[in-house]
Amino acid sequence: MNVLITGGTGYIGSHTAVELIESGHNVVILDNLSNSEIAVLDRIKDITGTRPTFYEADLMDLNVTEAIFDSHAFDAVIHFAALKAVGESVEKPLAYYRNNLIGTLNLLQVMKNHNVNQFVFSSSATVYGNPATNPIFEDFPLRTTNPYGATKLMIEDALRDMHHTDPNFHMAILRYFNPVGAHQSGLIGEAPNGIPNNLMPYITKVATGELAQLNVFGSDYDTPDGTGVRDYIHVVDLAKGHLKALEKLQNEPGLVTYNLGTGIGYSVLDLVKTFEATTGIKIPYKLTGRRPGDIATCYANPDKARTELGWIAEYGIAEMCRDAWNWESRDTD
The DSSP string of 129-188 is -S-SSSSBPTTS----SSHHHHHHHHHHHHHHHHHHH-TTSEEEEEEE-EEE---TTSSS
Active site residue 128: no
5/124 Cα distance (integer angstroms)? 17
Interval 109-159: pLDDT, tens: 999 999 999 999 999 999 999 999 999 999 999 999 899 999 999 999 999
CATH architecture of 2-182+231-262+302-310: 3-Layer(aba) Sandwich (3.40)
12/236 Cα distance (integer angstroms)? 8
The pTM of the full predicted model, rounded to 2 decimals, is 0.96
What count of residues does the chain have?
A: 333
**Pairing, β 118-124 against β 170-176:** parallel
233/46 Cα distance (integer angstroms)? 24
44/160 Cα distance (integer angstroms)? 33
> Contact, 200 vs 180, CB < 8 A?
yes
Q: Which residues of the chain have pLDDT under 50?
A: 331-333
Going from N- to C-terminal start, the domains of the chain cover: 2-182+231-262+302-310
Q: Identify the pLDDT of residue 331.
A: 47
Interval 150-169: pLDDT, tens: 999 999 999 999 999 999 99
Q: Which member of 11, 128, 148, 176 is catalytic?
A: 148
What is the full DSSP assignment across 241-310? HHHHHHHHHHHS-SEEEEEES-S--EEHHHHHHHHHHHH-----EEEEPPPTT--SEE-B--HHHHHHH-
> Contact, 119 vs 159, CB < 8 A?
yes
> Contact, 201 vs 178, CB < 8 A?
no
Q: Which residues pair with 170 in a beta bridge?
A: 118
Return the closest-CA partner of residue 237 out of 307, 317, 297. 317
Q: Which residues pair with 288 in a beta bridge?
A: 217
